[in-house]
Amino acid sequence: QVQLVESGGGLVRPGGSLRLSCAASGSIPSMFGMGWYRQVPEKQRELVARIGFRGVTFYADAVKGRFTISSDSTKNTVYLQMTGLKPEDTAVYYCNYHTLVPVRDYWGLGTQVTVSS
C-alpha cells in the first residue's frame, strides 16, 4: 500500500517562500504521477502541480512561475518549492499519487500553508 506524508507547511508572510515535502512509502515505480493539490474551506480541492509522463510538469495558472515541483526517486519524495507566496495561496496542501493502471488516487493527510502578514 502507498502512504504519503506531507511536511513543511507553516506560516509565511506575503512574498515569502516555503518548501513542502511529500515522503512516499510503499510501491512507487516512479515519481511520474506525483502531484500537489490544495484546498480551502468551502472550495473544491484543486490541482496545483504534477509530474507527468517523462517528467513533464504541469502547473495551475495561479501558481505558474512561482511554484516548482520536483522529485527525488532515490528517496521516494516529491517537493513543492513555493516562492512569491500570496495570501490566496493559503490552503491545506495535499500530496497526491495518481496511477492509470489501475486508476487510483493516493492522498496524504495534508499540511497547512498560511500566507499572512
pLDDT digits (tens, 9 = 90+) for 43-70: 999 999 999 988 999 999 999 999 999 9
Alpha-carbon span 58 to 10, nearest angstrom: 24
Is the pLDDT assigned to residue 72 strictly greater than 80?
A: yes
Of the chain, the percentage scoring pLDDT greater than 70 comes to: 100
Closest CA to 48 of 14, 103, 6, 76: 6
Evaluate whether 47 touches 35 at the Cβ level (below 8 Å). yes
Cell 513542502: give the residue.
20
